[in-house]
Amino acid sequence: MVELGIPELTTEQIETLCTTAENTARKHILSKVPSKHIERLDISVEATGSKPVDVTVEINLVLSSQAKGFDAQALVKKAVNQAHKATENYLRNLK
């Protein structure tokens, strides 16, 4: 946990934060796996609190049988990490 020293977030900023995280995770997964090989991709981002803000990213990824050679768990883990980096960058830019 890193203390960034940001001000209390508005509702609009929290929405933007969640959208940024979701889009980053989706973009990462789609950059690694063709969409035709994805049966299901659900991304949920929840931000609780406002100072400090706690961001939770959950991804449900189901690959088709054609997606041989792809590790869904590794993709999800990396996408979650990318989403957290994006939220941290967004918060740093608010200061």
What is the reported pLDDT for 1? 42
If one counts every other C-beta atom within 10 angstroms of the C-beta of residue 18, the result is 20
In a domain, 3, yes or no: no
**pLDDT tens digit string along 15-63?**
999 999 999 999 999 999 999 999 999 999 999 876 678 899 999 999 9
Confidence of residue 6 (pLDDT cuts 50, 70, 90): low
In the numeric block, which tokens belong to residue 93?
């830019």
Number of domains composing the chain: 1
Q: What is the CATH number of the domain that holds 31?
A: 3.30.300.100
pTM of the model: 0.87
What is the distance between the alpha carbons of residues 44 and 55, in angstroms, rounded to a whole number?
A: 10
4, part of any domain: no
Is residue 36 assigned to a domain? yes
The tens digit of pLDDT for each residue in 63-74 reads 999 888 899 999
Q: Show the domain range for 44.
A: 11-94
